[in-house]
Structure 1
Amino acid sequence: MKQTFYSNGKLLITGEYLVLDGAKAFALPTKFGQNLIIEPANGKIIHWKSFDSDGSIWFEDTIPFASIIRKERFDDAKSIKNTLIGILHEAYLMNADFISNEKGYNIKTELTFPKFWGLGTSSTLINNIAQWLQIDAFELLKRSFGGSGYDIACAQNCTPVLYQIVNEKPVVEAISFNPDFTDKIFFVYLNKKQSSKAAIASYYSRQGNVQHAVTKINTITKTVIEATTAKEFAKALQNHEIEMSNILELPTAKEALFPDFDGVIKSLGAWGGDFVMSISKENPTDYFKSKGFEIVIPYKEMIL
């Protein structure tokens, strides 16, 4: 019997990096996401195909059940296959039935956003696998990729979320966020994908005593969520950028790329790649395109 699962993509608005140390993170699920389609087959093997949003196949391979059970590794040219086997191996340890009681599978994944956008290719896959096997997606993420888990919270929720790690456990609160100034908010792709793993490692290498920063970011996040004007919202996000710039010892995205922009630029998630958010009085599309950034998406086209 054919089964289909779907998970939302994500954008982290506040709390990047510090969410790993207990800060409250404000995140938005996107209108874009990923499907997982499972069909039974034979041969104790998985025939896997991953489709990008344009219908092209970006990964295709066969994975024997035996490779999943023993977590077989292939050479570096097969890095995607190795990663996938690692996820499926951890899933097998959490629920062996999909290997023990079945003959084989044809599996497809279908992204509804371009893979290079960084909206959660991995997190949507992990959440879809967890739905399929009825296991805890946060635990599967922890065992495979690591990370805070805010992206899993977005994958599972169709409303904005406030996310926090408390006593090493995820706490997810669905919240209301629908201000009347969303027409001032745009998302801009920076023409390169940032590795979350590398960014997190860099954060830990720079990290000092961050508890004071956690308290400050939590206050900023509250202001962001409760803002009633675009000016208040933008000012809070600007303060967030300054705080994180000091912690990471990196220039803000505005300082590095858009110093003449008439408005506020907020980095989202891992600094240095993927998307930034802009808040400005006028539509900034022409400005960003003049700088070579062609992908500019209005809030209401991006966010659920």
Structure 2
Amino acid sequence: MSYSIESFGKLLISGEYLILKGAKGLSIPVNFSQTLNVDENTSGYFDWKSYDIDKNIWFSCKFKISDFYNKQNYNNNLLLYEIIKNLNELNPGIISNKKGISFKTFMNFNHNWGLGSSSTLIHNLSKWADVEPFSVYWKVTNGSGYDLASCKYDKPIIYQLIKSETPKIESVNFLPEFHKNLYFIYLDKKQSSKSEIEYFDKINISSECISEVSRITEEMIKCSNVLDFQNLVNQHEKILAKVLNKKSIK
């Protein structure tokens, strides 16, 4: 039996880590995607291969499927181990009852860019396993969930955590007249979301700060002038720089 699914990446325009504290964030889909192909077989093995944009394997692991609970088999990819383990617990036998299984993932972008590559992997594997994606996400990451929510939509969303693990998701129209004047620059400084969130969790955030970021998010989706949008981005950058005690990139 074969299965294939494609999920698109996303960019978080506003909110950043403050979403974890209840701020509204604007997330937009991108044209870049990750595809998962699954083939069940009788080989007796769990075989995983991840291909980059040049069709080169950048991660792989292979072991007897009966040994899938041994995290040492995943070549230090603890996220993949946690996803697979939880999928089998949430849908008993989805892995352990297989005689053999092959997974292949493909990205049409540089995997160092991020673009929610971990969340698209969680989404794709959960859909294959017939498991609610968020039930896996909350078990294997410490993120806000905006990236996973974005996988379910083909248009921009406003995402807000009302309380822990309880998101409010609103599909919105965001295609301003000046959209061709918006550019995103990869700084080649990909960070570990897990460690950054752990750092952020130790910071005390005022309710005024949360409200201000939510206001900026709401203003962004209504903005019709590129200069006004730039001003909102600058306001957002100043708030984040102050909260995180880090120098703004601008």
TM-score, scaled relative to structure 2: 0.94
1:128-181 superposed Cα distances (whole Å, 9 cap, x missing partner): 011111211122111112201111112221100111112321221111001100
- Note if contact 2:65-2:96 (Cα within 8 Å) is conserved in structure 1: no
- Paired residues of 1:124 and 1:152 also in contact (CA < 8 A): yes
Structure 2 residue matching 1:154: 3-state secondary structure: helix
Distance in 1, matches of 2:213 and 2:5, equals: 35
Instruction: Quickly say closer, same or farther: Cα 1:66–1:166, change in 2 above 3 A.
Output: farther
User: 1:184 and 2:191 equivalent?
Assistant: no
Equivalence for 2:55: 55
Q: Distance in 1 between matches of 2:67 and 2:168?
A: 34
Name the counterpart of 1:37. Answer: 37
- The residue that corresponds to 1:64 in the other structure is 64
Report the equivalent of 2:137: 141
Are 2:176 and 1:160 aligned? Answer: no
The residue aligned with 1:9 is 9
Tell me by how many angstroms 1:195 deviates.
0.9
Q: Distance in 2 between matches of 1:236 and 1:182?
A: 15
Q: Which runs of 5+ in 2 are unaligned?
A: none
Q: CA deviation at 1:74?
A: 1.7
1:244 matched to 2:249? The reply is no
Q: How do 1:248-267 and structure 2 match up within 5 A?
A: 248-254=244-250
For residues 195 and 97 of structure 2, the distance between their equivalents in structure 1, rounded to whole angstroms, comes to 38
Match of 1:228 among 224, 230, 234: 224
Instruction: Quickly say closer, same or farther: Cα 1:89–1:13, change in 2 above 3 A.
Output: same
Q: Which amino acid is the alignment partner of residue 249 of structure 1? A: N
TM-fit CA distance, 1:73: 2.5
Match of 1:97 among 68, 93, 101: 93
Identical aligned residues as a percent: 33
Name the TM-score, length of structure 1 as normaliser: 0.78
Distance 1:62 1:183, change over 3 A: same
Question: Which letter does structure 2 place at the counterpart of 1:99?
Answer: I
Cα deviation, residue 108, structure 1 = 0.5
Query: Is there any run of 5+ residues in structure 1 with no aligned partner, and where?
Result: 255-304
Q: Once the two structures are superposed, what CA deviation does each residue of 1:7-51 show, in whole Å capped at 9, x if it has no partner?
A: 111111100011001111100111111000011112443111110
Does the 8 A contact of 2:44 with 2:65 survive in 1? yes
SS in 2 for 1:10: strand
State the 1:234 CA deviation: 1.0
Distance 2:142 2:199 in 1: 15
| Amino acid paired to 1:230 | V
Aligned to 2:99, what secondary structure does the other structure show?
A: coil
The two structures, once aligned, show a CA RMSD in angstroms of 1.6
Distance 1:215 1:122, change over 3 A: same
Partner of 1:22: 22
Give the Cα–Cα distance (whole angstroms) in 1 for the partners of residues 131 and 41 of structure 2.
Answer: 22
Whichever residue aligns with residue 15 of structure 1, its letter is G
Superposed displacement of residue 184, structure 1 = 1.2
Match in the other structure for 1:195? 192
1:230: how far off? Answer: 0.5
Match of 1:174 in 2: 171
Matched to 1:166, the amino acid is: I
The count of aligned residue pairs is 249
Query: How far off its partner does 1:100 sit?
Result: 4.5
Deviation at 1:56, TM superposition (A): 0.5
Offset of residue 200 of structure 1: 0.8
